[in-house]
Amino acid sequence: MRSSTLVILIAVLVWSSSFDSCHAIRWHPWYWRPWYWRPWWMLPSMRHHHGGFGRLNHTAPPPQLSPSQPPPLLLPPSLPLPPHNDHLPPPLLPPPPKKSHAPPPLPPPSSKPPPPPANPGHETRKFPTFNVLNFGARGDGKTDDTMAFHSTWTAACQMEASTVLVPEGHEFLVGTISFEGRHCRKNIIFQLDGTIIAPMNRENWGRDLSNWIVFKRVTGLTVQGEGTIEGSGSGWWHVSGSDDLEDIEDVGKQHVDLSDKDEDEDYGDEDNRTEQREGRETVVTAKVLRGVKPTALRIYRSNNATLAGIKIQNSPNVHVKIMNCNGVKVHDLSVSSPGDSPNTDGIQVHRSRDVVIHSSNLACGDDCIAIQKGCHNLTVYNVTCGPGHGISIGSLGPDHSKACVSNIMVRDIDMHDTTNGARIKTWQGGMGSVQGVTFSDIRMSRVRYPIIIDQYYCDKGKDCGNQTSAVAVSGITYENIRGTYTDMSILFACSDSVPCTDITLNGVDLQPVQQNGHGHHHHHIHEPLCWQVFGEWTPTKAAQINCSLQAGKPSGYNRVLLNLNLC
Ligand SMILES: *[C@@H]1O[C@H](CO)[C@@H](O)[C@H](O)[C@H]1NC(C)=O
Ligand SMILES: *[C@@H]1O[C@H](CO)[C@@H](O)[C@H](O)[C@H]1NC(C)=O
Ligand SMILES: *[C@@H]1O[C@H](CO)[C@@H](O)[C@H](O)[C@H]1NC(C)=O
Ligand SMILES: *[C@@H]1O[C@H](CO)[C@@H](O)[C@H](O)[C@H]1NC(C)=O
Ligand SMILES: *[C@@H]1O[C@H](CO)[C@@H](O)[C@H](O)[C@H]1NC(C)=O
Ligand SMILES: *[C@@H]1O[C@H](CO)[C@@H](O)[C@H](O)[C@H]1NC(C)=O
Ligand SMILES: *[C@@H]1O[C@H](CO)[C@@H](O)[C@H](O)[C@H]1NC(C)=O
């Protein structure tokens, strides 16, 4: 037993040393741009607000959007597994029954050492369970269990539908870890019932600071359980590598939403950028930038993934990042970090299709959900957001890039004490389009800007006044959006050259918060703004919204069509 553990350990060391070393978050120019052109109506004025509540129906989801299918471990025992055709020695559990017809193709035979015994407590299951405690994890919250987690994964991943168990009642200190699935079988379950905690300080973090926990190229992955991922982020939020860096971040925070990260395939880029900032040239090396703050949980290139039940809190940066995945279900997830923790988006989705996020509670310091470029067919429902920056599509089209987002449904949402509600934001100078978006049945309480379309982001201050291209925004529906706001109910700042088209508002009833009796919260309520927005508004009697949508087609409609056709 001892010697076999040693063999596994060595195998894991060799295996893990072959990992891609570059997982860096790409350095984005606009991230640090200090100068950010905004129209006068967008001048910042940060303050907290308190007030009344809106009312909203929470309708049940239609049947086609019902919660995810049960994970494989819940399959009835009669359901046969596909046969194993490799030379793996059998685990202690009886091998799955062989089935003679239609075997799905399996990965090539593995030369890895045999898996250690499965957890005896789970022997009754059809599929083997690999408990991290059996692979040397201590679970005392102090000992570094990273290697044990690696070993467990390596063993489990050789068997289809096996389970990696992180048992309850334990705290596992785990550093940067990548669960690579390229050579794994399908449908692995990561059962998180205990707590995984991140190292407190940067020194223990290792070389790559851009990620903490990564699942990569795992088909049919399920991450579920009642456990917690504790990002130990407080040490990262207000401290950074240098004062200068922090300073830039602050500037960026104020003017540019830092959730606007867009990464390339392997999210690595060594480019340095030169910034002109307040007359001072600052060269920030990619290494420093890359090192800024880790994303807690990244699911990358993993199709048919499910993330359910767990709690993720206090991430140093984004809590959950879903990138290049098709068919993802997220539900009963809880994200929790303070409203003033910088850049702590709840869930970011990039370049993914057929994603459903529902029945989750998201409280964080940035966007609750950020839908980035390349997202198609994404549904969000029954989600609570607040504190946070609302649910955002974008930012899209920085650096004259093309972005396409389509078929997005956001419904049955409760937003409270968020800076934004339903937001679409694009940079000037971009290309492509956002089309087919519905925000419906959203209850807003004390939201600063409940409804926003902003096509005036810009990464080059000096050119902002005269860029004509823009990511087109078309086919956006707002339905049954009710509640209270603290600054401006509706802000449609659309491009002069590529106006917003086919915008529909129906049942939008937003009221300014009532001042409380103590009078120490003075909200600066502004008139709504509808600039270059075409479409139809079915007004509600109760709504006191002084804003009008233009009928017909804008003169620059061919530019809109051009961008729609680019996607
Ligand atoms: C709430 O739902 C009921 C029944 O589904 C409906 O009659 C009512 O109009 C809804 N109210 C709002 C504010 O949408
Ligand atoms: C980035 O800057 C660092 C430090 O100045 C330098 O060593 C490196 O060669 C630069 N990389 C590129 C791609 O310019
Ligand atoms: C995802 O699951 C669906 C239904 O279970 C299946 O048809 C599809 O092939 C799966 N996709 C992948 C990439 O495994
Ligand atoms: C959209 O995604 C859902 C959920 O994954 C899927 O069931 C549906 O078929 C997709 N629709 C289209 C048009 O691809
Ligand atoms: C909505 O989400 C909550 C958890 O946040 C869950 O308890 C509830 O059952 C969900 N409701 C529906 C209709 O899905
Ligand atoms: C943009 O406008 C500014 C002044 O409004 C002008 O100085 C500049 O040359 C223009 N840039 C381009 C690319 O047209
Ligand atoms: C609506 O806007 C117009 C023009 O800005 C203004 O004159 C008017 O007072 C506004 N009405 C209300 C009810 O705020």
- Residues of the chain with pLDDT > 90, as a percent, come to 57
Task: Provide the pLDDT for residue 536.
Answer: 93
Q: Is 230 within the bounds of a domain?
A: yes
Taking CA atoms, 438 is separated from 30, 106, 407, 411, in Å, by 28, 41, 8, 8
User: CA dihedral defined by 258, 263, 267, 270, rounded to 10 degrees?
Assistant: -80
Give domain status of residue 557, yes or no. Answer: yes
Contact 567, 433 (CB under 8 A): yes
pLDDT band per the 50, 70, 90 thresholds, residue 67: very low
Instruction: Place 61 in a pLDDT band, splitting at 50, 70 and 90.
Output: very low
Q: Is the pLDDT of residue 213 over 70?
A: yes
Q: Kindly give the distance from the C-alpha atom of residue 518 to the centroid of ligand 6, in angstroms, as a whole number.
A: 49
Protein residues whose CB sits closer than 6 Å to any atom of ligand 6: 463, 465-466
Report the catalytic residues: 389
Q: Which of 56, 332, 382, 414 to mutate to test the pocket of ligand 5 (most atoms within 8 A of CB)?
A: 382
Q: Is 273 domain-assigned?
A: no
Query: How many A from CA of 385 to the centre of ligand 5?
Result: 13
Ligand nearest to the CA of 68: 4
> Positive or negative, the Cα torsion across 194, 200, 204, 210?
positive
Phi/psi at 339 (5° precision): -60, -20
Rg (CA), the chain: 25
What CA dihedral angle connects 43, 519, 51 and 368, to 10 degrees?
Answer: 40
304 Cα nearest atom in ligand 3: 1
Q: What domain range includes position 487?
A: 375-567
How many whole angstroms separate alpha carbon 540 and alpha carbon 550?
18
Residue 465 shares a structural domain with residue 350: no
Task: Report residues whose beta carbon is within 6 angstroms of any ligand 2 atom.
Answer: 270-272, 285
Q: Are residues 449 and 563 in the same domain?
A: yes
61 lines ligand 4 (CB under 6 A): no
334 and 460, same domain (yes or no): no
Residue 11 within any structural domain of the chain: no
pLDDT value of position 423: 98
Ligand with an atom nearest the CA of residue 57:
1
Q: What is the pLDDT of residue 463?
A: 60
**Is residue 486 located within the same domain as residue 354?**
no
Strands 326-331 and 472-485 come out as: unpaired
Higher-pLDDT residue of 296 and 45 is 296
Same domain, 379 and 517: yes
The pTM score is 0.71
Nearest ligand, CA 355:
4
Q: Are 172 and 126 a contacting pair, CB within 8 Å?
A: no
Average the pLDDT over each of 43-57, 72-86, 113-127, 202-216 and give the range with the smallest value. 43-57
When mean pLDDT is compared across 3-17, 288-302, 459-473, the lowest value belongs to: 3-17
CA-nearest residue for atom 8, ligand 4, is 354
Please indicate, yes or no, whether residues 422 and 296 belong to a single structural domain of this protein. no
The SS3 call for residue 232 is coil
Let me know whether 298 and 413 are in one domain: no
Give me the pLDDT at residue 15, please: 52
CA–chain centroid gap for 316, Å, is 14
How many whole angstroms separate alpha carbon 319 and alpha carbon 312? 7
Residue 277 forms part of a structural domain = no
Tell me the CATH number at 510: 2.160.20.10
Are 422 and 362 contained in the same domain? no
Residue nearest to atom 13 of ligand 2 (CA): 271
Asked whether residue 77 is assigned to any structural domain, the reply reads no
**What percent helix, strand, coil does the chain show, rounded to 5?**
15, 35, 50
Same-domain pairing of 151 and 233: yes
Based on the domain organization, do 549 and 445 belong to the same domain? yes
What pLDDT is recorded for position 293? 86
- Which residues, at least 6 apart from 364, have a Cβ–Cβ distance to it below 8 Å? 319, 335, 336, 337, 339, 341, 344, 345, 346, 387, 388
User: Of all atoms in ligand 2, which is nearest to the CA of residue 272?
Assistant: 1
User: Per-residue confidence at 242, pLDDT binned at 50, 70, 90?
Assistant: very low
Closest ligand 5 atom number to CA of residue 382: 1
- Looking at the domain assignment, is residue 269 inside a domain? no
Q: Is the dihedral of CA 551, 552, 556, 559 positive or negative?
A: positive
Please say if the pLDDT value at position 459 is more than 80.
no
Average pLDDT on 544-552 reads: 82
Domain stops at, among 345, 366, 387: 366
Number of folded domains in the chain? Answer: 2
Concatenating the DSSP letter of every residue in 267-312 gives S-----EEEEETTEEEEE-HHHHHTS--EEEEEES-SSEEEES-EE
Is pLDDT larger for residue 417 or for residue 56? Answer: 417
Q: Are residues 302 and 207 in the same domain?
A: yes
- What confidence tens digit (pLDDT) does each residue in 489-501 have? 999 999 999 999 9
Query: Domain end: 366, 383, 409, which one?
Result: 366
Average pLDDT of the chain to the nearest whole number: 75
* In a domain? residue 43: no
Tell me the one-letter amino acid at 131. Answer: N
Residues 179 and 230 in one domain: yes
318, 339, 366 — which closes off a domain? Answer: 366
